[in-house]
């Protein structure tokens, strides 16, 4: 199947729409707010209350449309180059940040179906760049107020019922597990692929109960090395070996026995690990030259978006992974999850 044959609403995503406030900072700034490189956390109301103000007032901050799932869908749309193949659900406030997010998502081709909350502000995420690596600190705001009512509205329920693939972030487990289960059960009843991203190490650590409730529905699982290692630790896998962890993840109990679970783990510049049917495959990464590397913010989202852009077309898994690697490579050469021009992915390269 080519991208021209894809219908509207082929892929439905659900997550937290956030406006990234991005800036290059020093390591002392991370230390001041007890943050780590290559990490993602939820802001502590006391510890991080001055972080956003300081970032805007004292640094040359950029505002970039963000949110993990929305980013992935934007990249997917860029590669497919056909509007509204993807649909997105998430919650925002009635403010200028929501307008920025909506305009960016829709101009990139995503059908953004936000749930609006009048008395909450649109969520933001501080993206702190140190030596090209990112540290994320999210203040969810309205994104945290998403309710299952939104997906039960008739127009939205129809979109869920008619989508062919589903993608949800682990981050959304902090917001509305019932909404995730509702979508997962729809995917199961129609035998359609349900995909999930582990998203951040703290999800496996602090939200393990809802994560383990959702995991049996997951047909394709994405994660990076920190997330996989934390999952292994919390579930007592007894190993730090990424291949072993990927294999064990693929073998965890599963609702839909018609398809085995695919696990895809990224490791920065180290090979991507793919597991399907007990077979482990590694895919090499071609490093971006240091003078072309801007920052790694959005690289994982871009990988997922690139992978899914091919997966929903029925392409071979090798092509899906290669496209994910290609997309991430483009994104790290830009600030945040942004891209220019036409996507020129060549599966044969």
Nearest to residue 16, comparing CAs of 148, 157, 163, 174? 174
Q: In the predicted model, is pLDDT for residue 105 greater than 80?
A: yes
Question: How far is it, in rounded angstroms, from Cα 234 to Cα 230?
Answer: 6
How distant is the alpha carbon of residue 27 from its chain centre?
Answer: 26
Residues whose CB falls within 8 Å of the CB of residue 148, separated by 6 or more in sequence, listed in order: 176, 178, 179, 182
161 is catalytic: no
Q: What is the mean pLDDT of the chain?
A: 95
> What confidence tier does 1 reach under pLDDT thresholds 50, 70, 90?
low
Collapsing DSSP states into helix, strand and coil, what is residue 68? helix
> What confidence tier does 3 reach under pLDDT thresholds 50, 70, 90?
low
Mean pLDDT calculated for residue range 62-71: 91
Tokens 């909506």 correspond to 102
The fold adopted by the segment(s) 3-18+66-122+140-331 is 3.40.1190
* 137-172 pLDDT per residue, tens: 999 999 999 999 999 999 999 999 999 999 999 999
The pLDDT score that the predictor gives to residue 180 is 99
**10, 86 Cβ separation under 8 angstroms:** yes
Question: How far is it, in rounded angstroms, from Cα 187 to Cα 191?
Answer: 6
Domain ranges of the chain: 3-18+66-122+140-331
Spell out the alpha helix ranges (H) of 163-263.
Answer: 177-189, 201-206, 208-214, 225-234, 242-251
**306, 327 Cβ separation under 8 angstroms:** yes
Mean pLDDT calculated for residue range 40-56: 92
Residues whose CB falls within 8 Å of the CB of residue 35, separated by 6 or more in sequence, listed in order: 41, 128, 135, 137
- Choose, from 57, 108, 301, 346, the residue flagged as catalytic: 301
Residues whose CB falls within 8 Å of the CB of residue 256, separated by 6 or more in sequence, listed in order: 187, 188, 191, 194, 217, 219
Token representation of residue 293: 């590397």
> What confidence tier does 2 reach under pLDDT thresholds 50, 70, 90?
low
């Amino acid at each position: 199947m080519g991208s021209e044959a894809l219908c509207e609403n082929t892929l439905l995503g659900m997550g937290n729409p956030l406006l990234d406030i991005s800036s290059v900072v020093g390591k002392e700034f991370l230390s001041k707010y007890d943050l780590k490189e290559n990490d993602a956390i939820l802001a502590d109301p006391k510890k991080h209350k001055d972080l956003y103000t300081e970032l805007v007032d004292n640094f040359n901050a950029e505002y970039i449309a963000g949110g993990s799932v929305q980013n992935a869908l934007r990249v997917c749309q860029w590669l497919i180059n056909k509007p509204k193949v993807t649909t997105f659900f998430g919650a925002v406030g009635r403010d200028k940040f929501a307008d920025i997010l909506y305009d960016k998502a829709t101009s990139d081709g995503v059908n953004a179906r936000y749930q609006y909350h009048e008395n909450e502000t649109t969520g933001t995420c501080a993206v702190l760049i140190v030596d090209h690596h990112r540290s994320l600190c999210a203040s969810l705001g309205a994104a945290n107020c998403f309710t299952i009512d939104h997906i039960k509205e008739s127009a939205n329920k129809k979109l869920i019922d008619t989508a062919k693939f589903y993608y949800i972030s682990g981050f959304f487990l902090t917001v509305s597990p019932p909404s995730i289960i509702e979508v997962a059960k729809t995917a199961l009843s129609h035998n359609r692929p349900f995909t999930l991203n582990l998203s951040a190490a703290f999800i496996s650590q602090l939200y393990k109960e809802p994560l383990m409730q959702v995991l049996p529905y997951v047909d394709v699982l994405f994660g990076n090395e920190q997330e996989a290692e934390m999952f292994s630790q919390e579930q007592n896998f007894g190993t730090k070996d990424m291949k072993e962890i990927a294999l064990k993840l693929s073998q965890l109990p599963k609702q839909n026995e018609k398809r085995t679970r695919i696990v895809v783990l990224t490791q920065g510049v180290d090979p991507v690990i793919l597991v399907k049917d007990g077979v482990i495959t590694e895919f090499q990464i071609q490093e971006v030259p240091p003078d072309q590397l801007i920052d790694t913010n959005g690289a994982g989202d871009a990988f997922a978006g690139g992978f899914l852009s091919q997966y929903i077309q029925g392409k071979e898994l090798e092509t899906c992974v290669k496209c994910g690697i290609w997309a991430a490579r483009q994104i790290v050469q830009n600030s945040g999850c942004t891209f220019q021009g036409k996507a020129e992915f060549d599966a044969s390269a």
